[in-house]
Structure 1
Amino acid sequence: MKSDERANLSNIKFQKKNPKYYLVILFSTLFMGSSFPSGKFLIYNESIPPFMLFGWRFIIAGLLLLIFCSYKYGMKEVVPQLNNSVSKGILLVFGVGCLQTAGTMGMLSLALMTLSSSLSSIILFTNPLWLALLAHAFLNEKITILKFTALALGVLGVVVCLGLEGEFDKRGILFAFIGSLCWALNTLITKKNVFDKSIFVFTGWQLLLGGIVMLVVSYAFKENYDYSLINYWDIFWFIWLIIPASIGSFSLWFMALKIGGATTTSSFLFLVPLFSLIFSIIFLHDVLNAHIIIEGLLIMVSLYLINKN
């Protein structure tokens, strides 16, 4: 048996025996889902420029994580490293920051300007399908008939939730799909390149560097905002975006990737649109309808099938 096949079997056995994996996935997707309505509120309702908002969000989140890591592990352990090479480590975290933070979240911030938080999350999290195809080609994670059926059902769930009626902004949909592809490419890279240091160090660096890239884009776009308009709700949602939705979700996500296979772990991302819809109903007063119910059922079946074997 090939080493990759043995590793995949080991991951599957670990997932079945250890509930920690599922708890990590649950809270990661829950926090990710909460970021969509909170980001939508600040960008659309409060008119905060998207790249400026997300840039500062990730810079602060990254700095907080790195400060925590330097206190816990020591300054030497915060230096990014890949295969005992600092230059390779810096290149990896910068690449991931550009794809995961600046690419995926940058495209999401643009999508949120014209699309609802629910619709943005639904389109963005079609990425398990693209990741399954990439993992099949580059990670030797073969797509079985059962796994393909499960992924197809998950995609069908998000398509049903889109609905056939209504007009949607085509640019917003395009931005969300580009963000989805960036995420899939990033997952492939992180799975093929194992970072030498703590997962929290890795997350901190990619958030910080990705946030800096977003602020550069914000400056290039000449985004401006009157900070005197900030109120208590703005501060609350901004802190939420930094701690649970950034530090929490990204750290737990990379931890889950390290434990499980890329395809299996990414299949749980279909939960994010469901959580996003729930939060949008609670905080943004979105309406619960048949699309949401059908999507939820299809996603549950999809997750059951993809983890059946």
Structure 2
Amino acid sequence: MNRPASQSITSPAPLALVLAAYLAIYLIWGSTFLGMRLAIDSIPPFLMAGGRFIIAGILLYTVMRFRGDAAPNRRQWINAVIIGALLVTAGNGGVCWAQQTVPTSIAALIVASVPLWIMLADWWRPNGLRPALTTVLGLIAGFVGVGMIVMSKDDQGARLVDPLGAGVLLVGNMCWALGSIYSRQTKIKAPSPLLGVGMQMIAGGVLDVLVGLVLGEGRDFHPGQITAVSAWSFVYLTFVGSLVAYTAYVWLLTVSSTAKVSTYAYVNPVIAVVLGHVVLKEALPHSLALAGGLILVAVILITRNPVKPPLPRGDSQ
């Protein structure tokens, strides 16, 4: 899924809970790239993504309503649809779809550039935060790394990355960045953060299913053909990837700065690359390793360096 955008947090969350949430997005999300790749072996990508988020969202929504959260109103549901469309459908669903043609390790490295897009989104929004010079250099380095991955070729001159798959990943990154910034800045809040997460997962999951049906995923899909590996991967993604990690991510956006939350991008690609190599026997050419390292250095630069105060309205940046 981050930037040097920090707002004052009125009531600090318990440190142990914050640390647990960070560990969840660090470790679990790194493994979900492998989980998605295994799940879509026999389940269409958007239907798989939609199913996991609908189930996880309904469970979380039901629990929070049972605990006493008020029923959300129409405006809150509309807000959940917007965030769910950006994060769940375009962001996560796009990654699932792209992994049909893009190796797990490469997909993880491209997704690692999400903090670059969040930095830009936070900068370009009205009264946005102006990055320092070193942060701008980090942005440039990061996008060079992404370009190296997208344009890389093997020894025979063939592209290592499917252009359409890479394009979908980049669009998904942009949407994830916009969704992250919007979810933090919007004044329309659900009765509680966790109820809001459930609403977003339900809305985004339904949209995932609709996109899958429009793309024709339902025509050739037969539940009886789902393999055991895909089924268990789906269960893991639903209850661990969605309920635990996604919930932790959205909650952290409400209690921590986007710059700190974005540090998950340091760890996720490393775990994904290792798992892709060990489990799927994916190769990682030196050129891709160099590009991935460039992206990670860029992410560290843009999330650890300060930003300048936003310019007054009407001034040029």
The residue type paired with residue 8 of structure 1 is S
1:128, 1:151 within 8 Å by CA — same for their partners in 2?
A: no
Judge conservation of contact 1:42–1:48 (CA < 8 Å) in 2.
Answer: yes
CA 1:232–1:188 in structure 2 vs 1: closer, same or farther (change >3 Å)?
same
1:278 positional shift:
2.1
| Worse-superposed segment, 242-251 or 18-27 | 18-27
Distance 1:100 1:131, change over 3 A: same
* 1:47 partner SS: coil
Whether 1:261 aligns to 2:265 is no
Counterparts of 1:158-169 in structure 2 under 5 Å?
Answer: 164-166=152-154, 167=159, 168-169=161-162
Task: Name the CA shift for 1:20/1:69 in 2 (closer, same or farther; >3 Å).
Answer: closer
Aligned counterparts of 1:239 and 1:62: Cα–Cα separation in 2: 14
Per-residue Cα deviation, 1:194-230 (whole angstroms, up to 9, x for no partner)? 5243222111111111111121222223323222223
- Whose helix fraction is larger, Structure 1's or Structure 2's? 1
Structure 1 residue identity aligned to 2:6: N
What's the counterpart of residue 54 of structure 2?
Answer: 59
With over 3 angstroms needed to count, the CA separation of the structure-2 counterparts of 1:273 and 1:306, relative to structure 1, is same
Q: Which has the higher contact order (CA 8 A, sep 6+)?
A: 2
1:144 lines up with 2:142 in the alignment: no
Amino acid at match of 1:47: S
Task: Report how far residue 252 of structure 1 moved.
Answer: 1.1
- Which residue does the alignment assign to 2:197? 203
Q: Counterpart of 1:69 in structure 2: which amino acid? A: M
Alignment partner of 2:78 out of 79, 88, 91? 91
Q: Aligned Cα RMSD in Å?
A: 3.1
Moved more, 152-161 or 219-228: 152-161
Other-structure match for 1:278: 274
Aligned-pair identity in percent equals 22
Deviations, residues 241-277 of structure 1 (Å, cap 9, x unaligned)? 1011111221111122112333443354243222211
**Gap change, CA 1:127 and 1:158, over 3 Å in 2:** same
What is the CA deviation profile of residues 2-47 of structure 1, one whole-angstrom value per residue up to 9, with x for unaligned ones? xxx9x93756xx89x957645533321322221211111222xx33
Aligned match of 1:233: 229
Secondary structure at 2:120 match in 1? helix
1:130 Cα deviation after fit: 1.8
2:172 pairs, out of 169, 176, 179, with 179
* TM-score normalized with structure 2 length: 0.79
SS of equivalent to 2:262: helix
**Deviations for 1:120-173, whole angstroms, at most 9, x for unmatched residues?**
222233221121112123263331123334444555565666683331211111
* 2:130 aligned counterpart, secondary structure: coil
Name the CA distance, whole Å, in 2 between partners of 1:304 and 1:182: 22
- Could you tell me the TM-score, scaled by structure 1's length? 0.81
| Mapped partners of 1:154, 1:78: distance in 2 | 43
Deviation at 1:302, TM superposition (A): 4.4
Q: 1:307: how far off? A: 2.6
Q: In structure 2, how many angstroms separate the alpha carbons of the residues matched to 1:117 and 1:210?
A: 23
For the Cα contact (< 8 Å) 1:94–1:209, is it kept in 2? yes
Deviation for aligned residue 1:51: 1.4
Contact 2:104/2:276 (CA < 8 Å) preserved in 1?
yes
**Counterparts in 2 of 1:43-82, with a 5 A limit?**
43=40, 46-71=41-66, 73-74=67-68, 77=69, 79-80=71-72
Other-structure match for 2:240:
244
Structure 1 Cα separation of the partners of residues 302 and 53 of structure 2: 35
Comparing 190-199 and 159-168, the one that deviates more: 159-168
Q: Distance in 2 between matches of 1:221 and 1:173?
A: 18
Structure 2 unaligned blocks of 5 or more: 307-317
Q: What is residue 309 of structure 2 aligned with on the other side? A: none
Contact 2:42 2:226 in 1 (8 A): no
- Matching residue within 102, 110, 120 for 2:107: 120
